[in-house]
């Protein structure tokens, strides 16, 4: 989305857009607004779909057909207030009929952010276009405002008659109209340019308003003359005459499907003999039969003071129903960046603003925002509590997460790597494994799994994965087992659970420990059992980008083995379970209380978030049909994958990635260099793990998170299907 301020060179574009829109009326055309231009500083906006290449605003790249909304507004610099309607009967967002509800929300949010960031506006006063003016009635603009904390500041009541379904006119009104005819009143219309008639009516109007209501018309006669000469097709004056003189009259603004009554007045004689009844009956029954509504216009003034109760009653007697002209106020300076597609608001040249709507790979900002206000409240609670390590929050999390996995114990740690490392170190010391003890790990995992083995002073033995699911291939394990083998580390890579049954069988046969790396798969199940409870022990990471992520580093160990849990717990705290008593040479790897509180909160939504990821996957797997791309296979039981990553494969990976980046779609490669080719494992550099190498060459991760919008998903699918060599 790109937002630019209105300028005179876009006048025609603006008018054409209002014409095509679902809720614009001629009242929002530039000619009408510009007529006020000397009174107000214009800060109207144009909203274009799409972004200019490189995130750089290029005016020419925005075509009229990309225009999705316009926002008429005036700016009171002193008050730092934006008015959507200053000088207009009403204002508000004008959109095309095909713009979705969700898009309206995003557009309104972008507009608020624009005024906040680009103009340092403090307030928006918004008087929306009443629903009767929309071809498709809707209120997303208001919903967006409420989301931003808007308050109703003023309500004016109008009365309108629905033409599709008019109510019967009251007999008293019909009688009054007859009285008018009998008295010799007749209806006339001011011809174009007949300023004499307009002046005469205006005198009557001013007189009536002054004597009966102590009020003046909003417009001056000169302004009305000017408007009528500019919009002769839209603004009409109907009058009732007796003999030659004017006894009553109504000025009507003819909008697309609504006849909007602006100035209605009747002199004493007109009142006595029902002149307005005659005229209104004519307008409703004859003149505006083809319209959707006749809007009688508000009959109250500032503060909702009723101008003329009799008049309101009279209008209601014609079958009118109330329609509200509300005014809302938003404190813009307090508008927060709502989780939406708006990733960035960049300033272009000359005050031009451009909001780029790139599809992020994963927006942690948006995820955090989706947990507000509870997230911030939890953090503050811990901060204010004054206890930051090894406290109640750790206990709470430990209980919640062990219950979640079904494991007996959960020991919080500083991060995932430490969790895995400490499991292996604990086993090594408790079971007396030597330095030559071997642990089988997948050759294509994230290097941290392998580092844990190395850090524990054990020997990693790499096992090739299956190409179809990227997981350790149980068929390859047996051949790697020696008398030194002590454990198998399974990694539920990309969120998919490993094929546990054959792995557990081999492990049992050879007396091996099975350690799970659950860094990427919190919540995944294997035949109804959660990861974290599928082997002898599991190391979990809560790195911010994981499915369950902290606001920094955190991890844990889960196990049913009490001795192991105790050992790890002591090791994570300098080897001490009792203060200043050290059982072993430990480390310092603890989860801080803030992270524990955050994780408790986020854990409650983990299953729902994983389900949201599955929805994205469903859309991807149904939508992406490009034969150049191999999609990841879907497990027959959907709970076997929590889709930490949605990995596609293509031999043209780098070209595809570049292309997607140009399309504004961020992707990742998990991972570009296989562990055995890393400098960190130089001793393996001349080895060959062909499946692993192929995966690392071809794999590409598409945007994936539980907070992706439908529009983002659609854009990713469309871009992928358009990709060709």
Ligand X SMILES: *Cc1c(COP(=O)(O)O)cnc(C)c1O
Interface residues toward ligand X, by CB under 6 A: 415-417, 445-446, 448-449, 491, 517, 519-520, 541, 543, 553, 555
* Closer Cβ to ligand X, 246 or 695, answer by number: 695
* Closer Cβ to ligand X, 340 or 421, answer by number: 421
Least distance from C-beta 416 to ligand X, angstroms? Answer: 3
Length of the chain as a residue count:
725
Biggest alpha carbon distance in the chain? Answer: 119
Q: Please name the residue ranges forming H helices in 432-491.
A: 447-455, 474-477
Least distance from C-beta 552 to ligand X, angstroms? Answer: 10
Cβ 347 vs Cβ 566: under 8 Å: no
Give dist(CA 314, CA 270) in Å, integer: 14
* Closer Cβ to ligand X, 5 or 706, answer by number: 706
- Cα of first residue to Cα of last residue in the chain, in angstroms, is 28
Least distance from C-beta 448 to ligand X, angstroms? Answer: 3
Least distance from C-beta 611 to ligand X, angstroms? Answer: 21
Cβ 495 vs Cβ 611: under 8 Å: no
Least distance from C-beta 724 to ligand X, angstroms? Answer: 33
3-state secondary structure at position 75: strand
517 strand-pairing partners: 491, 539
Long-range contact pairs involving 582-586 (C-beta distance under 8 Å, separation at least 24): 584/429
Least distance from C-beta 544 to ligand X, angstroms? Answer: 9
How does DSSP classify residue 498? P
Least distance from C-beta 490 to ligand X, angstroms? Answer: 11
* Closer Cβ to ligand X, 249 or 555, answer by number: 555
> Is the backbone of residue 448 left (phi > 0), alpha (psi -120 to 50) or beta?
alpha
* Closer Cβ to ligand X, 495 or 706, answer by number: 495
Residue 262 corresponds to which tokens in the numbers above? 């602006």
Least distance from C-beta 537 to ligand X, angstroms? Answer: 14
Long-range contact pairs involving 306-314 (C-beta distance under 8 Å, separation at least 24): 307/213, 307/215, 308/212, 308/213, 311/264, 312/157, 312/159, 314/173, 314/276, 314/277, 314/280
Residue 162 corresponds to which tokens in the numbers above? 């629905």
Residue 599 corresponds to which tokens in the numbers above? 């994780």
Least distance from C-beta 452 to ligand X, angstroms? Answer: 7
* Closer Cβ to ligand X, 148 or 571, answer by number: 571
Least distance from C-beta 556 to ligand X, angstroms? Answer: 10
Least distance from C-beta 541 to ligand X, angstroms? Answer: 3
How does DSSP classify residue 9? G
* Closer Cβ to ligand X, 449 or 667, answer by number: 449
Between β-strands 353-356 and 344-347, what pairing exists: parallel, antiparallel or unpaired? antiparallel
- 7 Cβ contact list (under 8 Å, min separation 6): none
Q: Which of 442, 464, 404 is nearest to 691 (CA)?
A: 464
Give dist(CA 61, CA 102) in Å, integer: 25
Least distance from C-beta 446 to ligand X, angstroms? Answer: 4
Least distance from C-beta 384 to ligand X, angstroms? Answer: 27
Least distance from C-beta 643 to ligand X, angstroms? Answer: 14
* Closer Cβ to ligand X, 91 or 675, answer by number: 675
Cβ 437 vs Cβ 467: under 8 Å: no
Q: Which residue shows structure tokens 């871009």?
A: 719
* Closer Cβ to ligand X, 159 or 444, answer by number: 444
* Closer Cβ to ligand X, 308 or 520, answer by number: 520
Least distance from C-beta 499 to ligand X, angstroms? Answer: 17
* Closer Cβ to ligand X, 340 or 520, answer by number: 520
278 CB burial (10 A radius; 0-12, 13-18, 19+):
buried
Cβ 90 vs Cβ 130: under 8 Å: yes
Give dist(CA 351, CA 691) in Å, integer: 53
* Closer Cβ to ligand X, 142 or 417, answer by number: 417
* Closer Cβ to ligand X, 239 or 410, answer by number: 410
Cβ 38 vs Cβ 74: under 8 Å: no
- 207 Cβ contact list (under 8 Å, min separation 6): 267
> Is the backbone of residue 125 left (phi > 0), alpha (psi -120 to 50) or beta?
beta
Cβ 538 vs Cβ 557: under 8 Å: yes
Q: Which residue shows structure tokens 């854990």?
A: 603
* Closer Cβ to ligand X, 543 or 643, answer by number: 543
**DSSP H/E element including 128:** none
* Closer Cβ to ligand X, 49 or 462, answer by number: 462
3-state secondary structure at position 513: strand
Q: In whole angstroms, how large is the CA radius of gyration of the chain?
A: 35
């Amino acid at each position: 989305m790109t937002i630019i301020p209105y300028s005179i060179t876009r006048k025609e574009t603006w008018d054409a857009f209002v014409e095509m829109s679902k809720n614009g009326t001629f009242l929002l055309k530039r000619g009408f607004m510009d007529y006020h231009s000397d009174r107000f500083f214009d800060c109207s906006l144009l909203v274009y779909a799409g972004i200019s290449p490189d995130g750089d605003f290029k005016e020419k790249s925005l075509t009229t057909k990309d225009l999705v909304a316009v926002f008429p507004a005036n700016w009171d610099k002193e008050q730092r207030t934006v008015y959507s309607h200053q000088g207009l009967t009403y204002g508000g967002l004008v959109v095309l009929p095909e713009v979705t509800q969700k898009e309206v929300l995003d557009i309104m949010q972008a507009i608020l952010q624009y005024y906040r960031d680009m103009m340092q506006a403090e307030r928006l006063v918004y008087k929306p276009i009443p629903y009767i003016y929309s071809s498709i009635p809707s209120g997303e603009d208001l919903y967006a405002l409420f989301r931003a904390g808007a308050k109703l500041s003023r309500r004016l009541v109008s009365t309108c008659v629905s033409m599709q379904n008019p109510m019967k006119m009251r007999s008293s009104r019909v009688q009054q109209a007859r009285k008018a005819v009998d008295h010799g009143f007749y209806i006339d219309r001011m011809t174009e340019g007949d300023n004499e008639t307009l002046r005469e009516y205006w005198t009557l109007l001013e007189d009536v308003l002054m004597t009966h209501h102590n009020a003046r018309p909003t417009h001056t006669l000169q302004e009305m003359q000017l408007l009528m000469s500019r919009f002769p097709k839209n603004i009409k004056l109907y009058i009732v005459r007796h003999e030659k003189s004017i006894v009553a009259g109504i000025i009507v603004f003819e909008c697309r499907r609504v006849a909007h009554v602006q100035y209605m007045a009747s002199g004493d004689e007109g009142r006595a003999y029902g002149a307005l009844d005659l005229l209104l009956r004519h307008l409703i029954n004859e003149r505006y039969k083809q319209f959707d509504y006749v809007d009688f216009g508000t009959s109250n003034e500032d503060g909702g003071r009723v101008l003329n109760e009799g008049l309101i009653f009279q209008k209601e007697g014609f079958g009118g129903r109330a329609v509200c002209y509300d005014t809302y106020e938003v404190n813009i300076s307090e508008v927060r960046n709502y989780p939406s597609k708006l990733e960035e608001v960049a300033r272009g040249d000359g005050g031009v603003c451009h909001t780029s709507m790139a599809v992020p790979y994963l927006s942690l900002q948006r995820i955090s925002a989706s947990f507000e206000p509870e997230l911030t409240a939890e953090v503050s609670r811990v901060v204010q509590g004054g206890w930051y390590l090894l406290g109640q929050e750790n206990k709470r999390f430990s209980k919640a997460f062990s219950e979640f996995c079904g494991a007996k114990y959960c020991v919080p740690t500083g991060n995932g790597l430490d969790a895995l490392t400490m499991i292996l170190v604990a086993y090594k010391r408790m079971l007396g494994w030597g330095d030559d003890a071997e642990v089988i790990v997948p050759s294509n995992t994230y290097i941290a799994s392998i580092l844990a083995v190395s850090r524990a002073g054990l020997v990693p033995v790499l096992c090739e994965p299956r190409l179809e699911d990227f997981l350790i291939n149980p068929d390859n394990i047996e051949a790697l087992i020696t008398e030194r083998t002590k454990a198998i580390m399974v990694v539920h890579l990309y969120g998919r659970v490993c094929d546990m049954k054959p792995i557990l069988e081999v492990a049992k046969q050879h007396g091996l420990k099975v350690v799970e790396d659950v860094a990427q798969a919190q919540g995944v199940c294997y035949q109804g059992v959660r990861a974290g409870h599928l082997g002898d022990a599991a190391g979990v990471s809560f790195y911010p980008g994981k499915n369950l992520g902290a606001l920094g580093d955190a991890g844990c160990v889960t196990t049913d083995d009490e001795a192991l849990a105790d050992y790890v717990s002591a090791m994570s705290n300098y080897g001490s379970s009792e203060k200043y008593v050290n059982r072993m040479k430990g480390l310092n790897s603890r989860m801080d209380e803030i992270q524990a509180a955050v994780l408790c909160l986020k854990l409650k939504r983990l299953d729902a978030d994983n389900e949201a990821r599955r929805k994205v996957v469903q859309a991807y797997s149904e939508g992406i049909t490009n034969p150049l791309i191999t999609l990841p296979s879907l497990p027959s039981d959907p709970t076997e994958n929590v889709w930490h990553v949605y990995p596609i494969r293509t031999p043209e990976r780098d070209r595809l990635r570049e292309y997607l980046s140009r399309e504004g779609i961020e992707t990742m490669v998990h991972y570009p260099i296989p562990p055995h080719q890393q400098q960190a494992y130089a001793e393996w550099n001349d080895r060959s793990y062909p499946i692993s190498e192929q995966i690392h060459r071809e794999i590409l991760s598409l945007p994936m998170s539980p907070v992706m919008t439908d529009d983002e998903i659609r854009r990713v699918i469309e871009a992928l299907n358009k990709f060709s060599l």
